[in-house]
Structure 1
Amino acid sequence: MSAWMRLRRTLDRLTIYLPLILFGVLALGSWWLVRSMPELLPTGTDKLLRVEPDYRLEKFTVKSFDTSGRLTREVSGQSATHFPATQELHIQNIRIFAENDKGTRLQANARRGVSKETEQQMDLTGDVLAVRAADHQGPRMTLKGEAVTALMDQERLVSSVPVEIVRGGDVFTAQTMDFDTRSGLYELQGRVKSVLAPSSKPRQ
């Protein structure tokens, strides 16, 4: 058999296996390309974007009015940062003013406040001071504590840490508190202590 015939047969065999060889080369090339290409977005980028704040406010005031135009709530602060991942607004040096339809007025301030959009509440922390103005339901009341949660829709202040309440001349301290600002009633639990001022009414 001539050399030419042997070469011809060898080429015929290679032609049969050529598609398989090409597919193998393409597969290896694709694998190499995927392994070699750098990631378009680094690992964790999506998570980072979601936890970063999407806007900030400086020296702001937000006011709410009822249908008659009466001011019902005012929230102001030194600065505020909104976090879309948790739907929270973090406020520094927060101040709150609120007045309900019965004329009950409440003012509060704290070093920090966190407003949760999904819940009608505001978490106040750091030198919290809340004052309920005197009205026909009772004298002026002052609340002090390190952490107080304001439940806006229920008009309540609650705390699971020690608080101090001054009602007129009386002073109360407790480990937990549930304060209904609408009625002026409050529930104290834990180690409750009180100092009652002497009555100014003359004895009968």
Structure 2
Amino acid sequence: GRHLVFPLHADICVICRRIGFDNLNPIIWHKIANASYEVSNGSKFLGKPYEPNAIIKNDMEFILMQRKPGGYRQPTNMQRDASRIDKEEFNRWFQQIWNITGASTKQHPAPFPLELATRLVRMFSFTGDTVFDPFCGSGTTMIAALRTGRNSIGIDIDPEYCRMAARYLKAENADLFATTKLVFEKATAEPASLVKEDLALYEVRPARKKLA
């Protein structure tokens, strides 16, 4: 059959520019060895392995950088000192192509590794900031924020992914001597449903293994 590619990254950039955001240089994430996860038969080939029907592997992901209108914030000197990135990390992170092994799609259709989230959180926030992930999935971004001294808010429409994120966050928080407060809420107009869902998330057991 036909294989179509929709350049969603380009469409998103156009929309963001229309509403007043500044398009900055994106990061190109080379998902090492991840394309084989994305085909049902586990093959390294997409399409047929001979010309002209072979299809270039889908192992690149665009990480778009958008700057909102307004002035620059003023972090405290303490925040700056606690958020420093050393020279070796700076040289590796602030380049346009990242070679990071992709994550398995067994638990989530669009996962990304913790290393990727940790880099971005450290690059574009200070300690004590609040990181917002409106599509938090299994909670990878929130784990990265927790490990780097940031607060975080995560939202997901799928209750199962919310429970998965809660399990990982509880496993992470177990070693922090209760210094981090986990709050679970459900966005709904029905108070009874809100309480029920909150209790369900509070009662889930921590994951056996931390997110790696």
The TM tier, using the shorter chain, reads: under 0.3
Structure with higher helix content: 2
Q: Could you say which structure has the greater relative contact order, defined with CA pairs below 8 angstroms and 6 or more residues apart?
A: 2
Q: TM-score, structure 2 length as denominator?
A: 0.27
Bigger radius of gyration among the two: 1
Structure with higher strand content: 1
Q: TM-score, structure 1 length as denominator?
A: 0.28
